[in-house]
Structure 1
Amino acid sequence: MVMSSALLTDHYELTMLQAALGSGAARRRAVFEVFARHLPGGRRYGVVAGTGRFLDALADFRFGEAELAFLRDNRVVNDETLDFLASYRFQGDVYGYREGECYFPGSPIMVVDGTFAEAVLLETLILSILNHDSAIASAASRMVHAAGSRPIIEMGSRRTHELAAVAAARAAYLAGFSSTSNLMAGSMYGVPTAGTSAHAFTLLHSSEYDAFQAQIDSLGADTTLLVDTYDVAKGVRTAVELAGPELGAVRIDSGDLAVVAREVRQMLDSLGATGTRIVVTSDLDEYAIAALAAAPVDGYGVGTSVVTGSGVPTAAMVYKLVAREDADGALWPVAKKSVGKPSRGGRKTAFRALENGVATAELVTCSPGAAAPDGARPLLHQLVRGGEIVGREPLEAARERHRAAVAELPVLAHQLSQGDAVIPTVFS
């Protein structure tokens, strides 16, 4: 049985729906836009992620008997609104930046065009998914760049909500992580999975020798052995003694990782295990990874930092009405004028301006259907047409798109220090 996503929303959306049904405005055409006023954490670019998850959730956005009974029993809405919800199906259009694309302040990341009644109900669903996944992907992208060609395993499931862990693994992989420890992400999204063992496995056995032997007997010499439960030097010697020079990798999870990694590399080489890789873990983030650039490390495992957006757990995206139909059927721009929280009215079209393959500006215009300027590429693509989902794509396509999008950013995009967006957003 498919679980409905219809109650993954806020009460106030149904409050507005009921009032709009009463006033007759509910069926007016309305255009909502998702954008971020700024890039949180002083970052230079953001990464769009979660679009595929939103499309899946939209397909399941139905008010069945259980959902309607909850709303009725708790007097959330009146009978007229319940009747509307019973037959609710989104029949509008959705346009958006593709997953993996980079975005900047003011980028119209998603545009929802339908009746007010249809579109207002999607605010929380869209924002909860895009804000979470884009925050994870934005942090993961920085980590991937800091790691260079070295792979990163996402291993943060034990540091967040169980369902958020699955979404985070997907977003991190989209942004360039090589694998995840989360099996549900592997099952649902095809993310490659990987795992070694914990200190508990070593402590379970009478000795480190016995623990390593058990793991090698089960998984072969190419396994990864955790060598810092007791004494790292002794652990490395025992690992090579048992597995031989074919030992796949050792993992270090404590201490001064740069110093320990050098010592371990020297020891492995002296024991003939020149091909044995070194994987490091222990509260890594993009800054720690960058600091290890010169260390003889072959891979990283990142947990807490990636699933919490490396200190920025939301992308600060908002969902605002930017155009509405008037009594004569014309579409008029509308904008919020609140101090500190302004919005720009009008339905947008966006392009990425490029010069010699390098991004120079985000061009946003209120001329729907405008052709791409010379040297620019369009950013908004249709995801839903007349209620039919048309924008699904493989996760690998988003992963490849992200590689290409990051490659066209100016070099300054990859500075880890706080700063402004690497390219300006130009409105016209």
Structure 2
Amino acid sequence: MYTLRPALLTDHYELTMVSAALRDGTADRRCVFEVFSRRLPAGRRYGVVAGTARLVDLIREFRFDPADIEFLRRTGVVDEPGAEWLSRYRFTGEIDGYAEGELFFPGSPILTVSGSFAECVVLETLVLSVLNHDCAVAAAAARMVTAARGRALIEMGSRRAHEEAAVAAARAAYLAGFRFTSNLAAGQRYGIPTAGTAAHAFTLLHDDERAAFASQVATLGKDTTLLVDTYDISQGIRNAIEVAGPELRAVRIDSGDLAVIAQQSRQLLDSLGATETKIIVSGDLDEYAIAALAAEPVDMYGAGTAVVTGSGAPTAGLVYKLVEVEGRPVVKRSEQKATIGGRKVAVRRHKPTGTAIEEIVVPQGVPDHRPNDRLLQRSYVVDGEPVGLPTLDESREHLRQCLISIPWEGLKLSAGDPAIPVTVVPAE
């Protein structure tokens, strides 16, 4: 079994470019690459920056070991000078970008990678792999948090994703405001609260539903959640309260017309004296299904597939483009894929009340500062060394504040324009 190091999570052509640039003498030219999206996924009004701290950790480990070099030589991916250069690879440049949890829009320069051409270009695939995935999950999860209107959400999508993608998705969902994850690796790695009790298989294992509930309560106590829809939901609720008593913490419903069932379940629980027992619903929930349940007596939502797949937008559509060589702006002019040359600086402009009204992007310059402007970029890596990475909880709070700051129309789930416009100010 092979464990791939970050350096081989790279497309073939990154390394052939390095070999060619080493041969023609351009490998050491100082360059600036930027990450941005040309458009948001259909129906979205904002994107969410996520995965940057995770990316910095991977870049710190981005090394080609002897086995990697031998593979690249044997398969002809690189020539001898290229292999020798890769064997010594260490990223020594700078990385700046928007804070994790920041909102972004078409044209927002969310990450800037500076250094020699060779050391920056080999990072392209890794940068886009991490950010396209994590930003997509975080944006979908943020929409679900908004739709939940303060009710708690648990991320439970591990079984619908690649094993490592599941851990990254749990992190992105927590950043976006989910309260728990079912993924224990995410709990260990990132300190995210984990939750979970039992599946239908546990009920089916026992001779009857009451026996399954009794076993679970005997092990976990009354502060647990009983899954009541294996057979008949109403009878399942009665069995749950008979076994655990009215102090049972919660019941979970995973199927059916959740709006109708939630109402009926609340009425039944109250009639049985279990007025404090919570109702948790799950089962292919996305932001639209959650919004449709806003008026129903639901206390928590469990979301899986929609979260880890970006709720229909599994990639954020980010690109990694060269915008500057040796201080000179460079521009890609192809139709529909043009770029704006030069390193960018961006600020978010706000009303005195704190409502965001515009994002200003200036190539090769600094925006005129106005009251209530907020500079969007910060340093992540200086001279190859990580600096001042925020905690996950700090990034989570940053996103919460950002969502408060945008106009209310920007939080709508319906299709529409980006929450705020991005204005690119021509360089002087």
TM-score (norm 1): 0.97
Determine if contact 2:250/2:280 at 8 Å carries over to the other structure: yes
Contact conserved, 2:92 with 2:385, CA < 8 A, in 1? yes
Query: Offset of 1:414 from its aligned partner?
Result: 1.1
The equivalent of 1:240 in structure 2 is: 241
1:136 maps to which residue?
Answer: 137
Q: How far did 1:391 drift?
A: 3.8
Residues 68-77 or 210-219, more deviating: 68-77
| Partner amino acid, structure 2, of 1:266 | Q
How well do the aligned residues superpose, as a CA RMSD in angstroms? 1.2
1:285 alignment partner AA: D
Residue 419 of structure 1 and its aligned partner are, at CA, apart by 1.3
Match of 1:328 in 2: none
Partner-residue secondary structure (3-state), 1:218: helix
- 1:72 deviates by 1.0
Write the mapping of 1:24-173 to structure 2, written as runs, cut at 5 A: 24-173=25-174
CA distance in 2, matches of 1:393, 1:417: 32
The aligned residue for residue 328 of structure 2 is: 332
For residues 114-153 of structure 1, give each alpha carbon's deviation from its aligned partner in whole angstroms, at most 9, with x where no partner exists.
0101110110010000000000000000000000110000
Unaligned runs of 5+ in 1: 326-330
Match of 1:310 in 2: 311
**Conserved? CA contact 1:305–1:311, under 8 Å:** yes
Amino acid of the residue matched to residue 347 of structure 1? R
One-letter identity of the residue aligned with 2:293: L
1:199-225 deviations in whole A, cap 9, x for unaligned?
A: 100000000010000000000011100
Q: Secondary structure at the match of 2:410?
A: helix
Which one of the candidate residues 386, 396, 404 is aligned to 1:407? 404
Contact map agreement 2:285 2:302 (CA 8 A) in 1: yes
What percent identity do the matched residue pairs reach? 59
Query: Is the 1:351–1:363 contact (alpha carbons within 8 Å) kept by the matching residues of 2?
Result: yes
The answer as to whether partners of 1:372 and 1:378 remain within 8 angstroms in 2 is: no
Q: 2:373 is matched with which residue?
A: 376
- Please give the secondary structure, in 1, of the residue aligned with 2:55: helix
Q: In the alignment, which residue of structure 2 is the partner of 1:363?
A: 360
Note the C-alpha offset of 1:343: 0.8
What's the secondary structure of 1:41's corresponding residue?
coil
Match of 2:342 in 1: 346
| 1:416 alignment counterpart | 413
Aligned length: 423
Q: Does 1:212 align with 2:208?
A: no
Equivalent pair of 2:137/2:308 in contact (CA under 8 Å): yes
CA contact (8 A) 1:2 1:60 kept: no
**How far has the Cα of 1:372 moved from its partner?**
3.8
Q: CA deviation at 1:112?
A: 0.6
Q: Give the counterpart letter for 1:188 in structure 2.
A: R
Is the Cα contact below 8 Å between 1:323 and 1:345 reproduced in 2?
Answer: yes
Whether the aligned pair in 2 keeps the contact of 1:362 and 1:424 (CA below 8 Å) is yes
C-alpha distance in 2, partners of 1:18/1:374?
49
| Offset from partner CA, 1:380-403 (integer Å, 9 cap, x none) | 001110111114221111001110
- Is residue 156–residue 303 contact of structure 2 (8 Å, CA) maintained in 1? yes
Gaps of 5+ in 2: none
Q: Counterparts of 1:261-272 in structure 2 under 5 Å?
A: 261-272=262-273
Contact preservation (8 Å) 2:51, 2:100:
yes
C-alpha contact (below 8 Å) 1:52/1:392 kept by paired residues? yes
Give the superposition deviation at 1:83: 0.9
